Chain A
Amino acid sequence: MALKRVTIDPITRLEGHGKIEIFLNEDGNVENAYFQVPELRGFEKFCQGRPAEEMPRITPRICGVCPEAHHMASTKALDQMYGVEPPRAAQKLRELFYCAHMIHSHIAHFYALAAPDFVVGPSADPKVRNILGLVEKVGVETGQEVIKHRAYAQRIQAMIGGKATHPVCGLPGGLSKALKEEEREEVEKMARSCVSFARKSLKIFNEVVLEKKEYVDLVRSDFYAVSTYYMGMVDEQDRVNFYDGDVKVVDPQGKEVARFRGLDYLEHIGERVEPWTYLKVPFLKKIGWKGFVDGPGSGVYRVAPLARLNVASGMATPLAQQEYERFFEVLGGKPVHATLANHWARLVELLYAAERVLELSRDEEITDPKIRNLPTKKPVEGVGIVEAPRGTLFHHYRADVDGMIQSVNLIVATGNNHAAICMSIKKAAQGLIRNGEVDDGLLNMIEMAFRAYDPCLGCATHSLPGQMPMEVKIYDHRGEKLRCLKR
């Protein structure tokens, strides 16, 4: 029997897609917009009854995009469950590993997803508005640098994590393996190269976006801005930290309104269930849920690079600090509400992550073989919080008397941003669609509003064709479908 051959074309129906639905009013202007992602079922049930220490190996499997973030949040949750503090060398090595993950992720987002909109043009044909079109414009050499530095970050993660993806290094109280001197030397060399590459990336952003008035105007335009609360993690000196610290929240004027750690997240974050989406909608409990609206009276908050820069007083490394200052100078002071500024903020963070890896690779303690304090108590309850590339990530576990998992709650970065993503899409659509007239270029500009968050639908499935398909549907005031575009 001959084997069937399947072809994929743009209209092949694939299940499990993300959806943007835009509803127009009688005048053909935008009334409402929704962003939906597919449901994943039964994670808590899947975990129940398993030994707590298995969680850092299970949770990275949730997502093919940021397994390292889940691994680290999970490992930190176990530290708290077992009541054990890792030695300093282990904390530094975890942070080094984690900053390498940020480098890996931020490079991919900027070059594959963000830059084509600006380098090739926001309303350019999708046939050229992609990473291949980008390479054509910026040159093969830069393309090779992109791949090389992603591979460096991957190599560092594999060295410490034990595997290239789905790391196995994190244990309650520390890590499974210390860093050898020859590995440290290799990390230092690669980190130095990553710092240069991050600076080059900021230079490209400067040339491609900041030196063009129309793009600066686009970034700062009202229809790409929502005025929300912001959340992000800061160190003891109130500077951005991805691995550990306090979770800080500022209001739309930039004033600090909350600072918390661990289990206290329950006092600050409420999770709302909406009838039209499977993904919960978190909000700030103390402000309250007022619907999908912005302003100081609404508990909607944002996470991700822009939010992190907005909440912090600065960056902990010198070159990133300079870029941080320039960022707020050019964009008119803190906080910045321009959603598209996430791309720039992401590059500032790329530079910080590279500088931090370099700094840690030169730290005298980094090769210390004492990388674990053995837990001696039974696991009870714990919360692990990290800044994933796409924003704050919470893992909360509770165990039964035998140390088996009883309950699990995860709040993922794209979940935190859910309400704000819906609002950003609606506002962009309202600003761009007039009298029911809409074309592909406009739709891409609407998509740009949500792409800036680097929303991760990858938590769902990896089935071919290797991407989460996306549908944009537009309905008229009678609820009849006017257009449907598939990406």
Chain B
Amino acid sequence: MPEEVRVLVLGLGNPILTDDGVGIYVARKARSLLAGRPVEIVEASVGGLGVLDLIQGYDALVVVDSMLSEKLQPGEIAELDLDSLMKTQRLGPVHGVNFATVLALGRDLGLPVPEHVEIYVIGVRDVESFGEQCTPEVAAAVHRGAHLVKERVIAYLDHVERKKTPPYRRHGQLPKSEPSQA
């Protein structure tokens, strides 16, 4: 394993807003599953430029966050298409800047942002009530999410190991496994 390989698993959310904390719970669980590997697990409740402070200096980034959308059922896990998020990066947000803009800004400014990025989202039901527990369907996704994160991180590390070269430099080159949802 090349020593310089550094992977960040970033769990985003607010642990006192019911389902909003799911990304954090997944990251927390993934911590024990990935023990002993060159991975850092960070929990954060920030967005916008605050994310830029967290992601610098890593080769690869796996983000886990909640998503409230008609496209996802509560508890359903999906990979977020980064390219499509990039297409919306220039729309003016109300407060702060979105994740794609943060990545693009980091690259434009020559900052050491990760070359490889994967974003996983978990469908949520309630992100408006204060509470320290997820709703049942969302809570049930934590275990699956953590195992998915583990598989993706190991796939990345194996890929780097196989290549025996510096981490690949373009997004999307990682061969896609088909992570189980079991």
The reply on A456 being an interface residue by CB < 8 A is yes
Contact between A466 and B51, CB atoms less than 8 A apart: yes
| Interchain nearest-CB distance for A104 vs B (Å) | 9
Q: Known interface pairs A6-B79, A132-B104, A467-B96. Does A42 touch B91 (Cβ–Cβ under 8 Å)? A: no
17 contacts between A and B (CB under 8 A): A3-B178, A5-B81, A9-B88, A12-B69, A62-B16, A64-B46, A65-B95, A126-B91, A131-B101, A132-B105, A457-B94, A461-B68, A462-B45, A465-B99, A467-B93, A467-B94, A467-B95
A 135-169 to B, binary, CB cutoff 8 A, 1 in contact else 0: 10000100110010011001000000000111000
Which of A42, A58, A454 has its CB near the most chain B CB atoms (within 10 A)?
A42
The reply on A15 being an interface residue by CB < 8 A is yes
Given contacts A3-B181, A4-B79, A462-B66, 19 further A-B contacts (CB under 8 A): A2-B178, A3-B77, A8-B88, A12-B69, A40-B17, A41-B130, A46-B16, A61-B17, A65-B47, A108-B49, A164-B53, A165-B50, A451-B94, A458-B96, A461-B14, A462-B13, A462-B20, A465-B85, A467-B94
The reply on A39 being an interface residue by CB < 8 A is yes
Contact between B108 and A135, CB atoms less than 8 A apart: yes
Of all chain A residues, the one with the shortest Cβ separation from B19 is A463
The reply on A1 being an interface residue by CB < 8 A is yes
Of all chain A residues, the one with the shortest Cβ separation from B100 is A465
The reply on B165 being an interface residue by CB < 8 A is no
The reply on A16 being an interface residue by CB < 8 A is yes
| Interchain nearest-CB distance for B25 vs A (Å) | 14
Which residues of chain A in 20-48 are interfacial with respect to chain B, using CB atoms and an 8 Å cutoff? 38-43, 45-46
Q: Known interface pairs A64-B47, A467-B96. Does A147 touch B111 (Cβ–Cβ under 8 Å)? A: yes
> A10 CA to B88 CA in the complex, in Å?
6
Contact between A6 and B69, CB atoms less than 8 A apart: yes
The reply on B36 being an interface residue by CB < 8 A is no
> A45 CA to B132 CA in the complex, in Å?
12
Contact between A40 and B130, CB atoms less than 8 A apart: yes
| Interchain nearest-CB distance for B21 vs A (Å) | 9
B69 CB contact (under 8 Å) in A13, A45, A456: A13
Q: Known interface pairs A42-B131, A64-B45. Does A467 touch B52 (Cβ–Cβ under 8 Å)? A: no
Contact between B72 and A6, CB atoms less than 8 A apart: yes
Q: Which of B1-9, B119-127, B154-162, B166-174 contacts A (4 or more CB under 8 A)?
A: B119-127
A135 CB contact (under 8 Å) in B48, B109, B130: B109
A7 CB contact (under 8 Å) in B13, B49, B84, B96: B84
Please name the 6 residue pairs, one residue from A and one from B, whose CB atoms are nearest each other, closest first. Answer: A467-B93, A7-B84, A46-B130, A4-B78, A461-B127, A127-B90
The reply on B117 being an interface residue by CB < 8 A is no
The reply on A434 being an interface residue by CB < 8 A is no
Complex interface: chain B residues within 8 A of A151 (CB) = 53
Q: How large is the interface on A (under 10, 10 to 19, 20 to 34, 35 or more residues)?
A: 35 or more
A132 CB contact (under 8 Å) in B44, B71, B101: B101
Contact between A458 and B47, CB atoms less than 8 A apart: yes
Of all chain A residues, the one with the shortest Cβ separation from B126 is A41
Complex interface: chain A residues within 8 A of B119 (CB) = 464
> A147 CA to B51 CA in the complex, in Å?
12
| Interchain nearest-CB distance for A465 vs B (Å) | 5
| Interchain nearest-CB distance for B181 vs A (Å) | 5
Of all chain A residues, the one with the shortest Cβ separation from B67 is A464
Complex interface: chain B residues within 8 A of A12 (CB) = 69, 71
> A456 CA to B51 CA in the complex, in Å?
17
Complex interface: chain B residues within 8 A of A467 (CB) = 47-48, 93-98
| Interchain nearest-CB distance for B141 vs A (Å) | 13
The reply on A313 being an interface residue by CB < 8 A is no
Contact between B17 and A461, CB atoms less than 8 A apart: yes
Which residues of chain B in 8-52 are interfacial with respect to chain A, using CB atoms and an 8 Å cutoff? 12-17, 20, 44-52
Contact between A1 and B180, CB atoms less than 8 A apart: yes
| Interchain nearest-CB distance for B149 vs A (Å) | 12
Contact between B85 and A130, CB atoms less than 8 A apart: no
Contact between B66 and A112, CB atoms less than 8 A apart: no
Q: Known interface pairs A41-B129, A462-B65. Does A468 touch B178 (Cβ–Cβ under 8 Å)? A: no
Of all chain B residues, the one with the shortest Cβ separation from A444 is B92
Complex interface: chain A residues within 8 A of B51 (CB) = 466
Contact between B128 and A132, CB atoms less than 8 A apart: no
The reply on A218 being an interface residue by CB < 8 A is no
The reply on B57 being an interface residue by CB < 8 A is no
| Interchain nearest-CB distance for A36 vs B (Å) | 12
